[in-house]
Amino acid sequence: MKLAYFDCFSGISGDMILGAFVDLGLPQKLLRQSLKDLPLPELRLIIKREERQALTGYTLRVQGQAREGLVRHYQSIKKLLEKSKLEPEIKEDSLAILKRLGQVESKIHGIALEKVHFHEIGALDTLVDIVGAALARHYFQIEEVISSPLPLGRGWIQSGHGTLPLPAPATLALLKKAAVIPSGSDKELVTPTGAAILTHFADSFGPPPAMTLRGVGYGLGQASFPDRPNALRIWLGEKFPDLKTEKMVVLETNIDDMNPQWYDQVLEHLFASGALDCLLIPCQMKKNRPAVLLQVLSKPETQTQLRDILLRETTTLGVRCFEVDRFSLPRTVDSLKTPWGPLRIKKITRFGQNSKGNEDFSLEYDDLKKMALEQGKSLKEVEIQVRKWLLPKLR
């Protein structure tokens, strides 16, 4: 699964998001071409590689031929996006982010959504950031977004609506259900556009997950801070498969005085009664007596009946029991029709492999055994024969 982790150690803004994606490899030509699909001939995008306290990345600045005081209303920007030549999925994400931004402004200022307005340059900035972020998500085929907790500044900021407290009211409204932490800074670290984009894409907030890292990109903010590099870092990679975690019980006993032939029937009864696995491990007991350590893996609900089998059908005088965690990879079991009969195949996605392909697989032993008996061949011959037939179908 393609994953983007937003490492927001200095907060987040729309231009920082887009700068980080450019640093990760979003083609500038593709970005510029996509922005040309918007009917905004006055728009000019300046992309530069710069440095913030020894970290290098990209900054983005939007220039436009705007008249002083000119504003764009939400409804006009919405129509502009709807009439654009953007790909449908990019348009859909862009409209959803714009609506999130417009709705919080509408609620905060007590006006209808259609009348929410953005000053001209601010409107161009917002459009570029929103469309660019939507383009990047689809270009990199990102399936999941996780973000670090967002650091929030405390202080004041001048806006088109006058002096406002930090975090800006729109930012705070957009961050509902997001993870936030105090930053100790009096600067605006999270902007409304950055919050709108991130909260639209983010599936969860927390530490980085186990992943195969494919790239890291840095997007730089316009300001320079004395106490930290003003940058956003995006990690791009593939998430490890989600492990299934279960509470299990291990039953075990040491046996040194039982006829070895009895183990076969004991194991049959254990498996028939719900044992998930059984092990016979040679060991040395006191006075150097050779023995067998019999271990049984059980679900909690079947441990009593399995314990009773051990006490009833072996020569042991006692059974130990302890709880364990079992972590297992995701797997599916399919039944295939082969030229030699039905075959069950187990597909497993291992760490570092793309969930859409390259699964590992194993063949069901009982099915192979049946084929071998019917054909009068060895298991080795049958498995080679089946794998040769199967591999082209799994590619």
Domain positions in the chain: 2-239, 244-328, 331-394
Dihedrals φ, ψ of 238, to 5°?
Answer: -120, 125
**What pTM, to 2 d.p., does this model score?**
0.67
CA angle 8, 12, 15 (to 5 degrees): 130
Whether the CB-CB separation of 359 and 283 falls below 8 Å is answered with no
230-234 average pLDDT score: 96
CA–CA separation, 48 and 362 (whole Å): 51
Determine the topology of domain 244-328 in CATH.
Answer: Alpha-Beta Plaits (3.30.70)
pLDDT for position 3: 95
Question: What confidence tens digit (pLDDT) does each residue in 308-317 have?
Answer: 999 999 999 9
| Residue 133 predicted with pLDDT over 80 | yes
3-class secondary-structure state, position 78: helix
The residue with greater pLDDT, 205 or 331, is 205
> What is the residue type of 362?
S
3-class secondary-structure state, position 21: helix
Question: What confidence tens digit (pLDDT) does each residue in 52-93 have?
Answer: 988 999 999 987 655 444 567 788 888 889 988 899 999 999
Confidence bin at 355 (pLDDT 50/70/90): very low
Question: What confidence tens digit (pLDDT) does each residue in 237-281 have?
Answer: 988 777 788 999 999 999 999 999 999 999 999 999 999 999 999
Please give the mean pLDDT across all residues of the chain: 89
